[in-house]
Amino acid sequence: MTVQVGDKAPAGRFHVINADGPGSVSTDELFGGKKVVVFSVPGAFTPTCSKEHLPGFIDNADAIRAKGVDTIACMAVNDMFVMDAWGASAGAGDKVLMLADGNGTYTAALGLELDGSGFGLGTRGQRFAMVVDDGVITQLHVEAPMEFKVSSAESILEKL
């Protein structure tokens, strides 16, 4: 079942690359006492994700933070090394936290899986954005198949 606005974000853990190398961050650490925008992409280095979705959040990071957001995070069903390389190539720096959900465990807990096997991608995450305030989902914007509108940085900025 897909999470809904008003639900507590499921507990979980993401893999990240930090200054000391491979690491992880729990949802308690990520969401506890903070307002977080999380956007999910079907895959790192894929066309819409690389040309529009991630760059939009990088470009609008300051404006989004000015609306009271503590953290902007990008998640995908990719490994932490791919997410780190993608963030570095896009210039994410400290503007967007790159979260790897390598096995799709967190995506499944959200109920937002995507069957990308027709494109040779296996199970991935749907394209969406959510706002989580102290662990509670206050906004959830899931894209229709093959669309990129409601989860864009610009759309989220308007809704904050």
Report in angstroms the alpha-carbon separations of 67 from 13, 25, 71, 96, 140: 26, 24, 11, 15, 17
Average pLDDT of span 78-85: 96
Nearest one of 58, 143, 48, 155 to 97, comparing CA atoms: 58
Q: Percent of the chain at pLDDT above 70? A: 99
pLDDT reported for residue 121: 74
Report in angstroms the alpha-carbon separations of 136 from 31, 64, 120, 130, 132: 8, 18, 34, 10, 5
CA distance 115 to 138: 26
pLDDT reported for residue 50: 84
Please tell me the pTM assigned to this model: 0.94
Least confident of 35-49, 59-73, 97-111, 112-126: 112-126
pLDDT reported for residue 122: 65
* Token pair 């006492």: residue: 33
> Residues 120-145: pLDDT tens digits?
676 779 999 999 999 999 999 999 98
pLDDT interval class at 60 (50, 70, 90) = very high
> Residues 13-51: pLDDT tens digits?
999 999 899 999 999 999 999 999 999 999 888 878 889
- What single letter denotes the amino acid at residue 105? T
pLDDT reported for residue 116: 74
Q: For the CA atoms of 102, 18, 75, 160, what is the dihedral angle to 10 degrees?
A: 160
pLDDT reported for residue 90: 97
User: What domains are defined for the chain?
Assistant: 13-159 (3.40.30.10)
pLDDT reported for residue 96: 98
* Token pair 């904050």: residue: 160
Active-site residues, by number, are 49
Burial 6-23, CB ≥16 within 10 A → b, else e: ebebeebbbbbbeeeeee
**Average per-residue pLDDT in the chain?**
94
DSSP 150: T
